Amino acid sequence: PGERNIQKLYDHFVIPGPHGLHICLDHEPLGISANELLEWTLGKAVILKDLKNCIRQLLVVLDFLHSVGGEIHTDLQLKYLLLPTPKPEALADFEEAEIKTPSARKVVTDRTIYMSSRFPPGDGLPLPSDFGEPRLSNKRLDEDIMPNLYRAPGVILRAGWEYDVDIWNVAMVVSVLQPLGHPPVWRYYTARPPTYIPCPAYPPAPDCD
């Protein structure tokens, strides 16, 4: 069932440009990110009860990636959880509006850069996207992954990691959404392991510097 809840890749093609070939990916169109949705939410937080279905779906997706695909996502964040698009009629209206009022753009010497337009959100739970940093491996790895905000202890301590870092990411996403918490403050350690790891739901200890 997890396969149904991942952003689909329909096709790919190559376009020649002034700086070489560009690989273009044709993805399933999705709406705004969970991060953007949170900006519209009162208090910019969601209670745990309302998150249960989303967490369950995300864990089902990870089970598919891990057990069937042998893949570790390594970079689950709110901005990579995208809401489904609305019904086709809404997309047709969106297309018509783009024709009448084109998106802002900037013309430079050798290209035109367009501002991204946002689809209105549809019904359904966010789908994981952005598979730009996956690892295909069934052994423990030790390379640096994940943004500091979401970095797992095994990565910080350079103790090796595998599929469990994705589960840690789910917990970090939930901690950011919790009304009593704030984004966890992670520090990047290289010379020595940390003596204190801040709890996502509470401010750092006074002497953690």
* Alpha helices, DSSP H, located in the chain: 34-39, 48-67, 88-100, 153-156, 164-177
Task: From residue 59, give the alpha-carbon distance in Å to each of 54, 176, 187.
Answer: 9, 17, 27
> Which tokens belong to 137?
């491996």
Phi, psi of 19 (to 5 degrees): -115, 20
Contact 75, 133 (CB under 8 A): yes
Closest to 134 (Cα-Cα) out of 63, 59, 75, 57 = 75
Q: Active-site residue 75, yes or no?
A: yes
**Active-site choice (26, 75, 110, 207):** 75
Report the C-alpha gap between 159 and 163 in whole angstroms: 14
Catalytic center residues: 75
